Amino acid sequence: MDDRKFSVLIAGGGSTYTPGIVLTLLDHLDKFPLRALKFYDIDGDRQQKVADACEILVKERAPEVEFVSTTDPETAFTDVDFVMAQIRVGKYAMRSVDEKIPLRHGVVGQETTGPGGIAYGLRSIPGVIGLVDYMEKYSPNAWMLNYSNPAAIVAEATRRLRPNSKIINICDMPIGIMDRMAAIVGLKDRNDLVFRYYGLNHFGWWTDVRDKTGKDLMPQLKEYVAQHGYWLGDADKGTEASWVSTFKKAADVYALDPSTLPNTYLKYYLYPQYVVEHADPNYTRTDEVEAYREKNVFTECARIKTAGTAKDTNFKSDDHATYIVDLCTAIAYDTKQRMLAIIPNEGAIANIDPEAMVEVPCLFGANGPERLAMGNAATFQKGLITEQNCVEKLVVDAYEQQSYTKLWEAMSLCKIVPDAKVAKDILDEMIPANQEYWPELH
């Protein structure tokens, strides 16, 4: 009989996503049993607010699970089986800078795409590498599921700097879209879909979507997406304004290649002028998150602490969290479940650089991911992927070589920056703003 129970560490315990993940873990103890749940963060005060509420949740729903919240790496990383990494290096204060500097130059300001993502990438690399090193020192058999953004750049950095580490880079965006696809065709959730998908993180396309009987769902999905994008109408009543606009805009992204279905984030690359025209440089996504998600999470944590109970909490498990639990379960029990991950290409997309970190379906088991072959990228996709992948590689070159020129090249090559002068102006403002986090560039 398999009576294993797992010890899970959430790195970035103070994250707004933590309560949702804890709730999902507690809801799935039958398939993924826990013996310990730990939080680690470098901001002890922020983490404490989330931990106070989560400790009550755990005590009420699974008192047998040991709960630990700490800022000490040794305490955190010792005796763990899985690390879920969700750090935001520089926190929301720096996300705001990532978004607002480019916008002042008429360029998309977004946390994972364009100059904002490049800036965030340079901050995230040492943060995530630090977590990998702690894991390897204190729990060398553990697996890390990393979803700290910008996942594409972080994945390229871990491929190069820690090639043998047990880190799997993942993203919730395709997962969220597949839940929407299921809703569009009247199925329960994404696990009812069988799909083919290829690209880079936040930069990919579905080429095939079927139900479990093999029925092709692409015609029905395409008809819907051509009109509404991934917007679900009434079911999207509570969705934040910027996301409603992103889901709707997928209709225009789809129009460019009606043979596939796109990831929403491609709107930043294909319609950057539209995005800038509809942005307010004084109120970006950071301000929206602070006013909505962050406020709700911390208000609810404080309420639970004061009440001393979480029995009536409005915290809900989310798409993102169920995906993480599914992935841990697949690795722990060798289920060979088919799931997306960001991994070295090695032929999965036949006409793309074998070294590129691509996002493709994999079968997950005890040895980690086994990639599935997706064939050739079409010419349009090949061009976009190749350019964007070179941007991501140049950012990691800049980090490794402390090179101003490589970073300037990365920003100039990026499709959403109009020319090298604009790239330089943005870069020269970003350097002092990131002084505390970036390597010194020469």
Interface positions, 309-368, toward ligand LMR (CB under 6 A): none
- Single-letter amino acid, residue 192: D
> Which listed residue (41, 81, 98, 172) is catalytic?
172
Residue 184 contacts which entry, ligand NAD, ligand LMR, none (Cβ below 5-8 A, type-dependent)? none
Q: Per the annotation, does 414 bind a ligand?
A: no
| Residue 285 beta carbon to ligand LMR: minimum distance, rounded to whole angstroms | 5
- Of 12 and 116, which has the nearer Cβ to ligand NAD? 12
Nearer of residues 319 and 429 to ligand LMR, judged by Cβ: 319
DSSP codes of every residue in 142-200: -EEEE--SSHHHHHHHHHHHSTTS-EEE--SHHHHHHHHHHHHHT-SSGGGEEEEEEEE
**Residue 95 annotated as part of some ligand binding site:** yes
- Edge to edge, the sheet with strand 66-70 lists 66-70, 34-40, 6-11, 82-85, 143-146, 167-169, 337-344, 357-365, 368-371
Tell me the closest approach of the beta carbon of residue 379 to ligand NAD, in angstroms.
28
Q: Which does 86 bind (CB under 5 to 8 A by kind): ligand NAD, ligand LMR, none?
A: ligand NAD
Site for ligand LMR, residues 139 to 158, rule: CB under 6 A: 149
Q: Using CB under 6 A, list all residues that contact ligand NAD.
A: 11-12, 14-17, 41-43, 46-47, 86-89, 91-92, 127, 130, 147-149, 151, 171-172, 320
The contact mask relative to ligand LMR for 279-298 (x = CB under 6 A, - = no) is: ------x---x---------
Active site residue 265: yes
Tell me: is residue 314 an annotated ligand-binding position: no
**254, 261 in Cβ contact below 8 A?**
yes
Q: By C-beta, is 319 or 429 nearer to ligand NAD?
A: 319
**Nearest residue to 54 via CA among 19, 98, 6:** 19
Does residue 134 carry a catalytic annotation?
Answer: no
Residue 116's H or E segment, with its range, is: helix 114-138
Measure Cα distances from 121 to 108, 228, 330, 385, 398 in Å.
Answer: 16, 32, 29, 18, 11
Q: Which residue is nearest to ligand NAD (CB)?
A: 14
The answer to whether 278 and 267 have CB atoms below 8 angstroms apart is: no
Toward ligand NAD, which CB reaches closer, 178 or 423?
178
Comparing CB distances to ligand NAD, the nearer of 46 and 196 is 46
Q: How far is the CB of 112 from ligand NAD (least distance, A)?
A: 7
Between residues 50 and 330, which has the closer beta carbon with respect to ligand LMR?
A: 50
Alpha-carbon distance of 173 to 199, in angstroms, equals 13
Q: In this structure, is the dihedral angle defined by the CA atoms of residues 323, 33, 144 and 12, taken in order, positive or negative?
A: positive
Residues 37-76 that bind ligand LMR (CB under 6 A): none
In 3D, which of 216, 206, 215, 209 has the Cα closest to residue 254? 206
Catalytic residue among 134, 197, 230, 265: 265
Residue 228 in marked binding region? no
Q: 196 among the known binding-site residues?
A: no
**Strand order, beta sheet including 261-262:** 193-200, 203-211, 261-262
Task: Give me the half-sphere count of Cα atoms (radius 13 Å) on the Cβ side of residue 245.
Answer: 11
Which own/partner pairs from 26-31 qualify as long-range (CB within 8 Å, at least 24 positions apart)? 26/57, 26/58, 26/61, 26/62, 27/317, 28/322, 28/325, 28/329, 29/62, 29/65, 31/325, 31/329
SS3 264: helix
Q: How many residues bind ligand LMR (CB under 6 A)?
A: 3
**Binds 285, which of ligand LMR, ligand NAD, none (CB < 5 to 8 A, cut-off by type)?**
ligand LMR
How far apart are CB 71 and ligand LMR at their closest, in Å?
A: 22
Taking CB under 6 A as the criterion, which residues in 184-243 touch ligand LMR?
Answer: none
Active site residues: 172, 265
Which residues participate in the annotated binding site for Mn(2+)? 171, 202
* Binding site residues, ligand LMR, CB under 6 A: 149, 285, 289
Which residues participate in the annotated binding site? 95, 149, 171, 202, 285
